[in-house]
Amino acid sequence: MRVSATAKYLRGSTRKANLVVAAIKGRPVEEAAALLKFMPQHAAHDVLAVLKSATANAENNHNLSAEDLIVADAQANEGPTIKRWRPRAQGRAFPIHKPMTHITIVVADREA
């Protein structure tokens, strides 16, 4: 059985979140959570929250044990970008892009 959780509109770059997400694919949930707790990247905190949510969904909604779950799939997709302008010299303006990310994690039984 596959169970997922998604967090949308998280502030941060998708490219940076993908580095964190790639590190936990295919790992057992407990090992992935331990790995995320000690990663220095800011996105690791958001990915850990989504992983905990997916694990809780599996335990509460489908009566699966957390010890038997693995991270079947994890994705960081691009969300909308907030666009702002920074004033510069001589009346010019430079753009500021504030990206957002959608993180989806799918956990599954070891047998699946």
- CATH number of domain containing 77: 3.90.470.10
Question: What pLDDT, on the 0 to 100 scale, is given for residue 112?
Answer: 52
Domain count for the chain: 1
Residue 51 near residue 105 (C-beta atoms within 8 A): yes
14 pLDDT higher than 80 = yes
* Segments in the chain forming alpha helices (H): 14-24, 29-37, 43-62
Residue 38 near residue 61 (C-beta atoms within 8 A): no
Tens digit of each residue's pLDDT (9 = 90 or more) over 69-106:
999 999 999 999 999 999 999 999 999 999 999 999 99
Domain of 27, in residue numbers: 2-109
Q: Which tokens sit at 112?
A: 């699946």
